[in-house]
Amino acid sequence: MLKQVEDPRHQSYIIYGNHILLMTRILSSIFYINSMRSTSGEFNSEHVIENMRVLCGEEELDELPYWETINNYLKRFSSDELQKVVCQLVSRLIRGRAFEEARMRGRYWQVILDGTQLYRSRRELDEHSLFRIRNKGTEEEYTEYYYYVLEAKLVLHEKIQVSILTEFVENEGREVEKQDCERKAGKRLMERLKKEFPMLPICICGDSLYAYEGFIKDSKKKKWKYILRYKEGSIPSIYQEYQVIKKRERNRKEESGEIYDYVIGINYREELVNVVEYENPKEKKKFLYLTNLSITGKNVKETIRRGRWRWKIENEGFNTQKNYGYYLEHRFSHDYQGMKNHYYLIQIGHMIAQIIEAWEKLWEKVKQSRRQKHRLLLEAWKKEKLTDYLAELEKTMQVRFAYN
């Protein structure tokens, strides 16, 4: 896939193929290396060069690109090309049918929407960055500049949520009357998602920011389902009607100290919506969700469980990428286009790493932390030869073939 992306460089001056440059950065993410400079240091060995030669199918690869070469390339490279690779990888995972059990109600693929801040500074960034005033009206007032991204994650397994589509929240210039925002970016992302995966049965999950008329009607138009975290202030009329009807219908039930309730068919501007409620008095937790999925006493618990999975994109996704080895908030490039490409390559690396991490048989005898496991992968990459494993694999396959 990486070989097929459009290369912006003049072909006469190419030393390294684009797949070598991109794969080096992806491996850096998988191995939890904290900077591109450190990547060049860790990969500076004959073993690594030989492994890259085998992995990338390059017989004449004598040395690996230095970190500055990769960064300069990413400044010129179109991030649309990497988004295509992400979509191709996701399509292959879906078609492989290994994750069919992840479908909601045996049909819908759960796609979770959430945004996060990538980098912030009191120093002015480029014209695409967002900005806000801190401590307004006080002596400590200052302007903070930051980058922000909206991510759509596909749930393949309770431990695997992979990037399916990315939308950067960005200004077109510094002098703007109104800045870009997550809701606007959400509209753009949904249009792109439908275009990329027109036939995919999707259930969108998001926070209360998306509980508004435009999102509800747009989901119906796209024939998507949704589960949205709902708060009273989002659409007050729905909340008021829910409070009145739930007392009359009495769908409330208690199970193991947890309370579930729901009301179906609430009319909101000619759209019928359902409200489900979860409460845990001991933990002092209470959540409401807005959905167009059919709700009954039998499926309300599972619907709420899926709705609560929205936090996984933050805790298992963004939190992992920021604090457990991917260094998402690190500014790998001072060029905006370069920064975006680093982000996409981190998402690809994280996608691969999650599947490796979830492979229980691989780790059943390794009682170490996630970071230590990734360090083990790096050490094996630096010391072991892929050719040895490929030869062993070939012998195993020949024996199995002969036996069959």
pLDDT of 403 higher than 80: no
pLDDT of 52 higher than 70: yes
Q: How confident is the model at residue 306 (pLDDT cuts 50, 70, 90)?
A: very high
SS3 of 205, please? strand
pLDDT of 378 higher than 80: yes
* Average pLDDT value for residue range 260-284: 95
pLDDT of 357 higher than 80: yes
Q: How far apart are CA 250 and CA 263, in angstroms?
A: 9
Q: How confident is the model at residue 33 (pLDDT cuts 50, 70, 90)?
A: very high
Count how many Cα atoms sit within 13 Å of the Cα of residue 338 in the half-sphere of its side chain: 17
What is the pLDDT at residue 315?
A: 66
* Average pLDDT value for residue range 262-266: 97
Give the single-character DSSP code of 66.
P
Averaged pLDDT score across all residues of the chain: 92
Structure tokens at 281: 């008095």
Q: How far apart are CA 326 and CA 29, in angstroms?
A: 6
What is the pLDDT at residue 325?
A: 79
Structure tokens at 98: 């290994």
Query: Which residue(s) pair with 162 in the sheet?
Result: 154
**For the CA atoms of 243, 248, 254, 259, what is the dihedral angle to 10 degrees?**
-10
> By the 8 A CB rule, do 145 and 121 touch?
yes
Q: How far apart are CA 100 and CA 301, in angstroms?
A: 21
Structure tokens at 186: 């959400």
pLDDT of 173 higher than 80: no
What is the pLDDT at residue 314?
A: 64
Query: Which residue(s) pair with 287 in the sheet?
Result: 278
Q: How confident is the model at residue 175 (pLDDT cuts 50, 70, 90)?
A: low
pLDDT of 148 higher than 70: yes
Question: How far is residue 197 from each of residues 193, 275, 347, measured CA to CA in Å?
Answer: 6, 28, 19
Query: Which residue(s) pair with 152 in the sheet?
Result: 113, 165
pLDDT of 321 higher than 90: no
The percentage of residues in the chain with a pLDDT greater than 90, rounded to a whole number, is 74
pLDDT of 199 higher than 90: yes
Q: How far apart are CA 276 and CA 369, in angstroms?
A: 37
SS3 of 10, please? coil
What is the pLDDT at residue 367?
A: 84
What is the pLDDT at residue 60?
A: 86
Query: Which residue shows structure tokens 């290369």?
Result: 7
Q: What's the 3-state SS for 115-138? A: EEEEEEECCCCCCCCEEEEECCCC
> How far does Cα 369 stand from its chain's mean position?
22
* Average pLDDT value for residue range 215-244: 95
pLDDT in tens, 71-116: 999 999 999 999 999 999 999 999 999 999 999 999 999 999 989 9
Residue-level length of the chain: 404
* Average pLDDT value for residue range 317-331: 81
Identify the CA nearest to 251 among candidates 266, 239, 268, 264.
264
